[in-house]
Amino acid sequence: MATAGKVIKCKAAVAWEPNKPLVIEEIEVAPPQANEVRIKIVATGVCHTDLYHLFEGKHKDGFPAVLGHEGAGIVESVGPGVTEFKTGDKVIPLFISQCGECRFCKSPKTNFCNEGWTSTRQDVMSSEDSRFTCKGQKILQFMGTSTFSQYTVINQIAVAKINSSAPLDKVCLLGCGVCTGYGAAVNTAKVEPGSTCAVFGLGAVGLAAVMGCKSAGARRIIAVDINPDKFEKAKVFGATEFVNPKDHSQPISQVLSQMTSGGVDYSLECVGNVGVMRSALECCIKGWGVSVIVGWTDMDNVATRPINLIGGRTWKGSLFGGFKSKDGVPQMVNAYMDKKIKLDEFITHNMALDEVNDAIELMKHGQCIRSVLSVSLQ
Ligand code: NAD
Ligand code: ZN
């Protein structure tokens, strides 16, 4: 390609500082170094974790950065030592890597990988390396990916090659939200046929969790959200009942316990609020209830009385739905192509990269499920 080996100047949405709108800038993207892949991002979703970094986490060392971690694109060029990818391959950037070599990658018990930013810079939410500069400054790559940029450079351990006929403006959602929620139900909670589940928070992550509970054969799927506008959408993915905590004077965990004669078998917290995490645990049935924390926050401690766990409940967390990323993402892309999972139904808005601040506002106000931004022409 004409651009291989050269610095590419392109458009990106830069988060210069917390709490401020992103700014569309021209950035310079360096050529890929050893084991790296430069990717033209075609489409990206906007996930709540982008908003978390900007408005909630606000880690001072986490800026300036290019946000976005739910994208899909095409390989533009590869650095020395890359044999797995070539120019023109369709790929999904992975915010959690799979090096295949570390003790975590070698264990079937986890999808954690010791090589990416998650092992050293989880608080700052960016990788040590960045191939971006803008106005003479280094710009961080949020979650090692930075999909709000027309081009990005990623180590090959954090890139998945996908089906060459996959529509990138749909499968981008498998880069985060849909794999996260679906896998949290199927891989982490290990929902069983005939069970009763509760899903707290009906954004894309929660709706994907509903979809996972349904595909695992759950009999009752109780969808919980404080925004009743989300309930119609939850039905599409398999929710059987709806509860708005605001309609009840009792704590939501008691409401759910009463509805289910003692508690649900599985609950999934897809909000990112420690109070909701507690409710999700406590609405589980004692003896065997399993509650999974999916929502992302590092701001507060979670708490419950020990007796709630002594009595036999299990509290778990799930990162990227427990999927080993390089293996799982291509499989999920094929599941979509084979019509085994839904993706189109999550997308409520299609916009251009320039409209990223509008997409952020929509999510802040609960007015979208997923906005997909078109970033580069294919
Ligand atoms: P979203 O903003 O689209 O959805 C969140 C939903 O929670 C909204 O519908 C909102 O109305 C609802 N909500 C808010 N307060 C509530 C309450 N008290 N009770 C019930 N519902 C409530 O967000 P999303 O993109 O779907 O992401 C959801 C969470 O998952 C975020 O915390 C995000 O950071 C996290 N996340 C985690 C991972 C992971 O790997 N663990 C990956 C992606 C996203
Ligand atoms: Zn995300």
Helix (H) or strand (E) holding 150: none
The protein residue with its alpha carbon nearest to ligand 1, atom 31, reads 295
Residue of the CA atom closest to atom 7 of ligand 1 = 201
- pLDDT of res. 127: 80
> How close is the Cα of 269 to the center of ligand 1, in Å?
8
Ligand 1 pocket residue status of 54, Cβ below 6 Å: no
What's the rounded Cα separation, in Å, for the pair 73 and 224? 34
Mean pLDDT, the chain, whole residue set: 96
Mean pLDDT to the nearest integer, 176-187 = 98
Partners of residue 351 on adjacent β-strands? 373
Place 1 in a pLDDT band, splitting at 50, 70 and 90.
low
Percent of all residues in the chain with a pLDDT value above 70, rounded to a whole number: 100
Model confidence at 122, in pLDDT bands (50, 70, 90)? confident
In angstroms, what is the span from residue 88 Cα to ligand 1's centroid? Answer: 34
- Whole-angstrom CA distances from 375 to 11, 48, 85, 198, 272 are 9, 19, 21, 35, 28
Is the Cβ atom of 318 under 6 angstroms away from ligand 1?
A: yes
Q: Which residues surround ligand 2, an ion (CB under 5 A)?
A: 47, 49, 176
Name, in order, each residue with C-beta under 8 angstroms of 168's C-beta and a sequence gap of 6 or more: 42, 43, 72, 73, 74, 90, 378
Question: CB count, 10 Å around CB of 371?
Answer: 22
Q: Which of these, 55, 206, 26, lies nearest to 134 by C-alpha position? A: 26
Residue 120 has pLDDT above 80, yes or no: no
What is the Å distance from ligand 2's center to 305 Cα? 30
Cβ neighbourhood burial of 155 (10 Å; 0-12, 13-18, 19+): buried
Q: What mean pLDDT is predicted for residues 311-328?
A: 98
Cα gap 367→325, rounded to integer Å: 29
DSSP assigned state of 175: G
Kindly state if the Cβ of 29 falls inside 6 Å of ligand 1.
no
State pLDDT tens for residues 217-252. Answer: 999 999 999 999 999 999 999 999 999 999 999 999
Please state the φ and ψ torsions of residue 153, each to the nearest 5 degrees: -125, 130
Whether the per-residue pLDDT at 173 is higher than 70: the answer is yes
Q: pLDDT tens-digit profile of 285-301?
A: 999 999 999 999 988 99
Assign 70 a pLDDT band (cuts: 50, 70, 90): very high
Identify the three-state secondary structure at position 310. Answer: helix
Is the minimum distance from the CB of 224 to ligand 1 under 6 angstroms?
Answer: yes
Element (H, E) at 55: none
Query: Which ligand 1 atom sits nearest the alpha carbon of residue 224?
Result: 20
Indicate which ligand has the atom closest to the C-alpha of 348: 1
**Which of 227, 200, 206 lies closest to 362 in space, CA to CA?**
227
